[in-house]
């Protein structure tokens, strides 16, 4: 019954089983607290931006607590910004001074994070920015903070980008040799020319060779698709695709990443926080189309998760505690089962169970076309209470044939309680024959 999905080079088995991960954007921009792109948006010089480097002191940083919050929310892996576009490194890289050890933090912040998440059996992913606004040989482009500075553009012409490429390779090597098994690398990103300034892509990064090196170091690793040469995982950002993501007409392994609100880095004033209900529905939606959800937290400059993020994580965890069975190991339902209005289906091939997620609780009945004769038992997932059902055409008792309500012989009709169970999204577990 399963779908044919383009095979990945790296190991994606854990990934398509786990479905739900935590993205972490943490760096100097956390102090600016107004978006991780602030250096570029405000066209700040390295000197001006250095005020954050001097003040980065996450005294409340507690990676064990971070890992616990993520794990309790039902997340199974994490992906952290080892370096974002600003160029600042969370680990003690031998190849730069622009790193956490040289800030008031005075220590490697990545290692304890990796240890803490691994301790909770979570897989390890590194986001690594291809873009770098600090390196002395990174050249001007349409994203660069100094893109409008004639002096910088002139200076940039003297830069030797191959030295930056070496740095990218060198740092990748550090990340893949000094932290044990890394399950995923998330490179970010390639982009086209704009306003007479050249873009950057595979030739600049040396993508083909970079991937060869990575595979030589850790062959199982899952790679995202932003190096401009394809990848194991396709990564739509900040939207939910309308169906299973395809590349070249074929279904692929995919993951969509999202913020809780409009910024990846900690943003004090941004206020479009999604509700727990919306977030739970996003997760369900994604799994019902065969994908993964990577949900982002931007910790504060003191090293804590934003209290609004904690609130959402706990809410998701409440739901996951009773409903994760409809997420882990699940994927899109086979097409012979029709999804009724206001619902989402997920399916676990191993256990042969179908999960009906009810977004809008109806009055008493849900009619499931294509399900008659296929279901052995049904229950609400939150409390394992039986849901009784009838199959095929059910007479209304008034006038034969007058009131079929669209039911045909393939229809299975669930008899629901009038009152909705007190959970974000109720799920009915259908044990298939």
The two three-digit tokens of residue 12, written as one number:
């994606």
**Least gap, CB of 388 to ligand GLC (angstroms):** 46
**Least gap, CB of 183 to ligand GLC (angstroms):** 17
**Least gap, CB of 264 to ligand GLC (angstroms):** 5
Residue 398 CB neighbour total at 10 angstroms: 7
Non-local CB neighbours of 190 within 8 Å, separated by 6+ positions: 130, 199, 200, 201, 202, 205, 226, 227, 228
Beta carbons of 247 and 254 less than 8 angstroms apart? no
**Least gap, CB of 37 to ligand GLC (angstroms):** 6
Q: Establish if 189 lies at the interface with ligand GLC (CB under 6 A).
A: yes
Tell which one of 264, 266, 355, 371 touches ligand GLC (CB under 6 A): 264
240 or 394: CB nearest ligand GLC: 240
Q: Establish if 225 lies at the interface with ligand GLC (CB under 6 A).
A: no
**Least gap, CB of 292 to ligand GLC (angstroms):** 13
CA 64 to chain centre: 21
* C-alpha pair distances (Å), 269 with each of 5, 25, 55: 41, 17, 20
The two three-digit tokens of residue 6, written as one number:
């383009």
Q: Establish if 257 lies at the interface with ligand GLC (CB under 6 A).
A: yes
User: Residue 4 gets which letter from DSSP?
Assistant: P
79 or 424: CB nearest ligand GLC: 79
Residues 7-26 that bind ligand GLC (CB under 6 A): 25
**Least gap, CB of 235 to ligand GLC (angstroms):** 7
187 or 337: CB nearest ligand GLC: 187
Residues 26-55 that bind ligand GLC (CB under 6 A): 36-37
| Token pair 């398509």 in the structure block, residue | 16
φ/ψ of 316, rounded to 5, equals -65, -40
Rounded to 5°, the CA angle 111-115-121 comes to 145
Binding mask 107-146 for ligand GLC (x = CB under 6 A): ----------------------------------------
**Least gap, CB of 88 to ligand GLC (angstroms):** 13
Q: Establish if 237 lies at the interface with ligand GLC (CB under 6 A).
A: yes
**Least gap, CB of 99 to ligand GLC (angstroms):** 19
155 or 237: CB nearest ligand GLC: 237
Taking the C-alpha atoms of residue 76 and residue 219, their distance in angstroms, rounded to an integer, is 21
Q: Establish if 430 lies at the interface with ligand GLC (CB under 6 A).
A: no
How many residues bind ligand GLC, per CB under 6 A?
A: 8
Binding mask 148-187 for ligand GLC (x = CB under 6 A): ----------------------------------------
Calculate helix-pair angle for 161-177, 207-217, nearest 10 degrees: 20
297 or 372: CB nearest ligand GLC: 297
CA 329 to chain centre: 16
Q: In what order do the strands lie in the sheet with 365-368?
A: 365-368, 412-415, 388-391
Residue 335 CB neighbour total at 10 angstroms: 10
β-pairing, 412-415 vs 292-297, is unpaired
Taking the C-alpha atoms of residue 426 and residue 337, their distance in angstroms, rounded to an integer, is 19
**Least gap, CB of 96 to ligand GLC (angstroms):** 19
SS3 415: strand
149 or 237: CB nearest ligand GLC: 237
**Least gap, CB of 200 to ligand GLC (angstroms):** 13
* C-alpha pair distances (Å), 182 with each of 158, 178, 221, 293, 329: 36, 10, 7, 19, 21
Taking the C-alpha atoms of residue 63 and residue 239, their distance in angstroms, rounded to an integer, is 29
Tell which one of 18, 108, 141, 188 touches ligand GLC (CB under 6 A): 188
**Least gap, CB of 25 to ligand GLC (angstroms):** 6
* C-alpha pair distances (Å), 339 with each of 355, 356, 364, 411: 11, 8, 17, 12
Contact residues for ligand GLC, defined by CB under 6 A? 25, 36-37, 188-189, 237, 257, 264
């Amino acid at each position: 019954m399963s779908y044919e999905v383009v095979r990945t080079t790296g190991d994606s088995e854990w990934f398509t089983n786990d479905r739900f991960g935590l993205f972490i954007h943490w760096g100097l921009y956390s102090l600016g607290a107004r978006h991780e792109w602030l250096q570029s948006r405000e066209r700040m010089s390295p000197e001006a931006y250095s005020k954050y480097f001097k003040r980065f002191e996450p005294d409340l940083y507690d990676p064990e607590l971070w890992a616990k919050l993520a794990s309790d929310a039902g997340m199974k892996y994490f992906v952290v910004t080892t370096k974002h576009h600003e160029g600042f490194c969370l680990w003690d890289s031998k190849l730069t001074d622009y790193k956490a050890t040289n800030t008031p933090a005075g220590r490697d912040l990545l290692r304890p994070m990796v240890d803490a998440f691994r301790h909770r059996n979570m897989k390890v992913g590194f986001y690594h920015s291809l873009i770098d606004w600090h390196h002395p040989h990174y050249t001007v482009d349409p994203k660069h903070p100094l893109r409008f500075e004639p002096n910088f553009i002139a200076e940039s012409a003297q830069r030797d980008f191959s030295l930056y490429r070496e740095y990218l390779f060198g740092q990748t090597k550090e990340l893949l040799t000094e932290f044990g098994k890394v399950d995923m690398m998330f490179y970010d990103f390639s982009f086209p020319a704009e306003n007479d300034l050249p873009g950057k892509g595979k030739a600049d990064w040396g993508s083909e060779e970079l991937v060869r090196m990575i595979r030589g170091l850790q062959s199982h690793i899952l790679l995202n698709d932003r190096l401009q040469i394809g990848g194991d995982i396709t990564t739509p950002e900040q939207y939910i695709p309308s169906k299973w993501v395809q590349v070249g007409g074929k279904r692929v392994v995919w993951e969509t990443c999202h913020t809780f609100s409009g910024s990846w880095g900690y943003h004090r004033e941004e206020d479009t926080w999604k509700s727990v209900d919306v977030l739970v529905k996003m997760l369900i939606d994604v799994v019902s189309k065969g994908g993964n959800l990577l949900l982002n937290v931007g910790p504060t400059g003191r090293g804590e998760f934003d209290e609004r993020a904690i609130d959402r994580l706990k809410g998701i965890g409440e739901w996951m505690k009773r409903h994760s069975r409809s997420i882990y190991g699940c994927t899109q339902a086979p097409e012979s089962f029709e999804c009724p209005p206001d619902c989402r289906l997920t399916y676990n091939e191993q256990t042969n169970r179908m999960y009906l997620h009810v977004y809008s609780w109806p009055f008493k009945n849900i009619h499931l076309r294509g399900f008659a004769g296929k279901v052995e038992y049904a229950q609400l997932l939150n409390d394992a209470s039986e849901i009784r059902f009838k199959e095929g055409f059910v007479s209304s008792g008034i006038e034969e044939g007058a009131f079929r309500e669209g039911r045909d012989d393939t229809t299975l009709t669930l008899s629901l309680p009038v009152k909705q169970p007190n959970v974000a999204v109720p799920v009915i577990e259908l044990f298939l024959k």
